[in-house]
Amino acid sequence: MLANYGPDMESTATSINRDSFVRMIERYNAGDLDGYLAGYAQDVVVHGYPEGVVGLAGLRAFYTQIADALDHPQVEIEEAIEQGDIVAARMVMRGRHTGELMGAAPTGRQIAVNVATFVRFADGRVAERWQHGDNLGLLQQLGLVPGG
């Protein structure tokens, strides 16, 4: 069954995994990193993250760095679709650049990064995640490459 969360964020079908993913993002947006990470399996496998991000400990370090670099980062789910044990989502992460990020000194700029992600659930937790962010757009917004 295909379950969809559209732009109005109203569920069009019952979806346990999609709803779990939405709750995880809500915890992240509330600044509750522990609550967010509780949605991941201890042995989660991640793809598309920076080199060195491995497992739950790697995710904790990565999202701690994001929280240190952006003033109250927020993720908006634009759409989330579930099929079987996979949830696919289009999202935008926003925040003000107030700490070092990707080697860039704080700029004070508001940034918005488009993200597409796929998560595979097993036993009620994210067991595997594929992450694809607009890194070029982020580098441009940070002034590290032309075009921002």
For 52-110, how does the pLDDT look when each residue is reduced to its tens digit (9 = 90+)? 999 999 999 999 999 999 999 999 999 999 999 999 999 999 999 999 987 889 999 99
**Domains identified in the chain and CATH numbers:** 2-141 (3.10.450.50)
Q: Please write the tens of the pLDDT for every residue from 37-64.
A: 999 999 999 999 999 999 999 999 999 9
Q: What is the mean pLDDT of residues 110-136?
A: 96
* Amino acid type, 121: F
* Buried residues in 42-68 as b, exposed as e (16+ CB within 10 A): eebebeeeeeebeebebbbebbebbbe
Q: Exposed (0-12), middle (13-18) or buried (19+): which is 41, by Cβ within 10 Å?
A: middle
- How many Cα atoms sit within 13 Å of 71 on the Cβ side? 8
**Percent residues over pLDDT 70 in the chain:** 90
